[in-house]
Amino acid sequence: MSKRDLKKYLAELNKEQLEEQIIELYEKFSPVKTYYDFAFNPKEDKLLQECKVKISQEYFPIKKPQAKRRPKAKMRRSVAQKYIKHFISLGVDPFVIADVMLYNIEIAQTYSAQNPIKQELFFKSMLNSFEQLVHFTISNGILSEFKTRIVSVYQETMQQKWKNSYEFEILLEKIDQ
């Protein structure tokens, strides 16, 4: 069904029928429920804090009381990407989304400063996150608000001597142009 056909169909429905369909969608499909829950009660601060906790646990997992030792860090970029995609679909403020993007890289850098990382994929993944961040802040016109933190991320890659720090530098140069 095309968007035009949908509009035509909806125009033929009366108010009660529309309400019934929306309630049915709300009850039947979790993404619809999530959207309306957020639209009518946008607790962005709560979402942001929950997101940051989940991302930080990827690098610094919390030791459970009954465990003998702390669990190993999983370092999955996909956890942050899932939140970023979810926030974009909900229409969360771009400042919050950019903050999550930066936080993901910053927490990864905090981890890598304390723990030597051998996986090449980690560095490539962080470069992809950095590139996504740069493009997102530019396209949303919020680069100036995040430029200091973006430059700090680049400087940290240099300080930690990341193998792909030159590629971070190339992306940083795009900002200055």
pLDDT band with cut points at 50, 70 and 90 for residue 67: low
What pTM value is reported for the model?
A: 0.79
pLDDT digits (tens, 9 = 90+) for 11-25: 888 999 989 988 898
| HEC sequence for the chain | CCHHHHHHHHHHCCHHHHHHHHHHHHHHCHHHHHHHHHHHCCCHHHHHHHHHHHHHHHHCCCCCCCCCCCCCCCCCHHHHHHHHHHHHHHCCCHHHHHHHHHHHHHHHHHHHHHCCCCCHHHHHHHHHHHHHHHHHHHHCCCHHHHHHHHHHHHHHHHHCCCCCHHHHHHHHHHHHC
pLDDT digits (tens, 9 = 90+) for 21-37: 888 988 898 888 878 87
